Copies of this chain bind each other. A is one copy, B any other.
Amino acid sequence: MSLAHALLTSLLEQASSGYDLARRFDKSIGHFWQATHQQIYRELGRMEKAGWIRSEPDPEAGRTRKRTYAVLPAGRNELMRWAAEAAPLADLRDEFLVRLRADAVVGPLDMVPELARRRALHADKLRAYRAIEARDFAPEAEPTRKRRIHHLILKAGIQYEQGWIAWYDEALEVLGEEGAAAPAASTLSVTPGAPEAR
């Protein structure tokens, strides 16, 4: 049921078309919750039927089918009710770790290129988040509650990416040296990275 509530949240921030919502899920909300346009339209249909939202043709739509959705009082009430509930922890769930563990059984497979690729992807994301932070959360700005919360959420993404980057650095250290030689324990030189230094 979280997608419906993510959509209610987004629509309360700004009434939008389905397409704009989908784009927002590719971007800002997509940093911590993902959904495809098929899901979004499906959910919008359900929510409209439930009386939580209402749609009308976009005034600037011309002959397109563009409609704008807005939240009704019942939708707002539902969101308030839901937001006060407890949420389950988001468990760590990463297919790559399954592959890594498979490597330990059937390997050695050469995982280093994939480790490097994934580290780079995480670094890209961190860079993007940092750019957003610089743009939207300049330190001299007066923090409103809303801005503080949004910044916290962005920081969640930042810490997530940073943690993974540090882990991939260590993994590359540990698994990357295998191709060089059969390492003796004394030449392993594992420098405990950030995960252990915390």
Say whether B153 contacts A100, CB under 8 Å: yes
Residue A194 contacts which of B90, B106, B198 (CB distance < 8 angstroms)?
B198
Contact string against B for A residues 147-172, beta-carbon threshold 8 Å, 1 for contact and 0 otherwise: 01110110111111011101100110
The complex is assembled from copies of this chain, and their number is 2
Residue A195 contacts which of B33, B158, B188, B196 (CB distance < 8 angstroms)?
B158
**Chain B CB within 8 A of A13 CB:** yes
**Chain B CB within 8 A of A2 CB:** yes
Residue A9 contacts which of B13, B101, B157, B174 (CB distance < 8 angstroms)?
B101
Chain B residues in 8 Å Cβ range of A156: 92, 94, 97, 167
Say whether B170 contacts A166, CB under 8 Å: no
Say whether B195 contacts A149, CB under 8 Å: no
Report the bound CA distance from A4 to B184 in whole Å.
35
Say whether B162 contacts A195, CB under 8 Å: yes
> A173 — nearest CB in chain B belongs to which residue?
B152
Instruction: Give the interface size bracket for A toward B.
Output: 35 or more
Residue A32 contacts which of B84, B88, B94, B107 (CB distance < 8 angstroms)?
B94
Report the bound CA distance from A119 to B47 in whole Å.
33
A interface list, Cβ under 8 A from B: 2, 5-6, 8-9, 12-13, 29-34, 76, 79-80, 82-109, 114, 117-118, 121-122, 142-143, 145-146, 148-150, 152-153, 155-160, 162-164, 166-167, 170-171, 174-175, 178, 185, 188, 194-196, 198
Instruction: List 27 A-B pairs, Cβ < 8 Å.
Output: A6-B98, A9-B102, A12-B106, A30-B91, A31-B92, A32-B98, A33-B94, A33-B97, A79-B105, A80-B102, A80-B109, A83-B99, A83-B106, A83-B107, A84-B109, A87-B95, A90-B95, A90-B96, A92-B160, A97-B156, A101-B153, A105-B146, A142-B185, A148-B175, A155-B167, A159-B167, A160-B163
